Amino acid sequence: MKRSMSVAGSFYPARAVEIQRFFEHFSKIYDEAFTLPDIKSRAVIVPHAGYIYSGYTANVAYRILQKQGIKKFVIIGPSHRVGYDGVSLCDFQSYDTPFGAIPAATDLAQKINERFNLTCLSQAHHEHSTEVQFPFVKYYMEDAEIVELVYSNTNAGEISKIIDFVLQQEDCGVIISTDLSHFYSLEEANQIDELCLKAIDKLSINTLHGGCEACGMIGVEAMIMSAKKLGLRSTILDYRTSADASHDDNRVVGYVSVCFS
């Protein structure tokens, strides 16, 4: 079973050459101002909006992952289209991208399924929060394999157990997908998102629940829980809002990228 593209041409370009131009532009702008941190990391938080808005922020994290030599990734994102209980894992053999198909990490998927007894809800996998990550993975880690997990009504503790299990496997990484606040003024968004950033920086679940409004809150909380258990520390790589691209300060969405080392 193949995981076909569902948001190509909307959230990201349908042609590989156009995506490559995005990634090269993001990297050029970053390198003119910063030096990419030399960090060993197998877990990141990245945003999932259209590339014109959040691609720069995500690109920083993927450039760090590129240096790690990771062979398999589990990509975890919230469901925006379908409501259900739990986490969906489907038996895909590959995941389409404009750069070509990404093979599924079938052995890792089987281990996760056997350990956590997940179900497959195929309609949940027409999901942009995970799919927008696929071209980044294929471009920066061409030979990597992936597993896509999409969650709806579940608790952070269950996701955290999956993260712990994956990070215990050799050469495996975790990609947590979330955007931050939605459709506030720029000033309000910055204030709300500051709580999210502080929570991630301090690995504080109490702070996270003090006003952060991430759409992937469950995944963020799960990653914080796992980071505390595994002795990881967080590094915030980039924060911005959609206003940086749209210049509309009235209804903005917040984005962050983070790595854990």
pLDDT (mean) for 144-170: 98
Buried residues in 69-106 as b, exposed as e (16+ CB within 10 A): ebbbbbbbbbbbeeebebbbbbebebbbbbbeebebbe
Q: What is the CATH number of the domain that holds 235?
A: 3.40.830.10
The reported pLDDT for the residue numbered 213 is 97
The reported pLDDT for the residue numbered 62 is 98
pLDDT (mean) for 47-71: 98
The reported pLDDT for the residue numbered 66 is 98
pLDDT (mean) for 26-52: 98
User: Whole domain around residue 116: which residue ranges?
Assistant: 2-260
Please indicate, yes or no, whether the overall pTM of this predicted structure exceeds 0.85. Answer: yes
Q: What is the pLDDT of residues 118-138, one digit of tens each?
A: 999 999 999 999 999 999 999
Provide the pLDDT confidence category of residue 255 given band limits of 50, 70 and 90: very high
The reported pLDDT for the residue numbered 32 is 98
pLDDT (mean) for 207-236: 98
pLDDT (mean) for 50-75: 98
The reported pLDDT for the residue numbered 197 is 98
Per the prediction, the chain carries an average pLDDT of: 98
The reported pLDDT for the residue numbered 207 is 98
What would the 3-class secondary structure string for the chain be? CEECCCCECCCECCCHHHHHHHHHHHHHHHHHHCCCCCCCCCEEEECCCCHHHHHHHHHHHHHHHHCCCCCEEEEEEECCCCCCECEECCCCCEECCCCCCEEECHHHHHHHHHHHCCECCHHHHCCHHHHCCHHHHHHHCCCCEEEEEEECECCHHHHHHHHHHHHHCCCEEEEEECCCCEEECHHHHHHHHHHHHHHHHHCCHHHHCCCCCCCCHHHHHHHHHHHHHHCCCEEEEEEEECHHHHCCCCCEEEEEEEEEC
The reported pLDDT for the residue numbered 115 is 97
Number of domains, the chain: 1
pLDDT (mean) for 209-237: 98
